[in-house]
Chains A and B, each alone.
Chain A
């Protein structure tokens, strides 16, 4: 995981922008309750989210990356050196020096018909952000 932060004039006032690269290895064929892709599962909406606390906000959650896995797709993921799909802007400057940013993989089970459960994967990764900003814009 490589991380650097840059003060970036985004859509609103200057806020912290985080850059994270990650690897994902997942075998989602077999969940806790057995075979996940049963007859009533149309797709899984997989997403990687970062959760952290800042002075401004008690709870922040940002989706960094998502993927739709349809029934019949290869359920094994071997993703390396992935860049986040969405800009990781904080609401303010709370990423600088933040040691407690947790990345979790979760998924939304979309059935052919019925209930839409949201499942959080067990196990998460902590990503500490450095205390300084990077000034070069190399992404």
Chain B
């Protein structure tokens, strides 16, 4: 059965199709859908293991790293402990107690003999370093604050997640259409 085009779906033909599908076919489609979701989750978990980061892909949320990165760009991170933190690197970090990850560049590091390191960051597009952003009384970031180091990126693609965040109706519409597509599409 070929994939139905959007105009065909908009007519009421597909409703007849759904009624014609017997229960067994419906369960089959639901299982198919479940498999897709599980595979996606497995790939995501696999990425977490390989990169060592709890969040191997992040979306850039602000313009503080322009002109290198813009809002909506997608960053690929690794967080391997063997990789030392050095100046010039682009790190994604979280300030204690805050949820939103920040993507900035390392400006200064002071590392002890035993590997303990404290460092300062700054956004390329900001005039001053990030000390004002850190927690009250906090002057440095430490390894535990790091989500990962940016190793690669693709532009624009992450804008979909930003839209879904800012406009929940858009998120529901996307999810609804996706669900509809998978359930109705027959192999």
Interface of A with B (CB < 8 Å)? 11-12, 42-43, 45, 47, 49, 56-63, 66, 68, 70, 86, 91, 106, 108, 110-116, 118
Contact = CB atoms under 8 A, between A and B. Distances in A.
Nearest to A94: B110
Given A43-B68, A108-B88, A116-B151, A60 B129 contact: no
A116 B90 contact: yes
Given A113-B155, A116-B153, A70 B67 contact: yes
B87 A47 contact: yes
A49 B154 contact: no
Nearest to B118: A91
B107 A58 contact: no
A118 B85 CA distance: 12
A91 B151 contact: no
A113 B86 CA distance: 23
Given A47-B87, A108-B90, A116-B150, A86 B110 contact: no
B164 interface: no
A60 B124 contact: no
Contacts, number: 75
B113 interface: yes
B124 to A, nearest CB: 7
A19 B68 CA distance: 29
Main secondary structure of the interface of A (DSSP, over half): strand
A86 B90 CA distance: 18
B144 interface: no
Given A11-B139, A12-B139, A61 B87 contact: yes
Contact of A63 (B87, B150, B153, B154): B87
Closest 7 CB pairs of A and B: A59-B111, A91-B110, A58-B113, A61-B87, A57-B110, A115-B152, A110-B68
Contacts of B153: 111, 113-114, 116
A95 B169 CA distance: 57
8 contacts: A45-B105, A57-B110, A58-B112, A59-B109, A61-B87, A70-B67, A108-B88, A116-B152
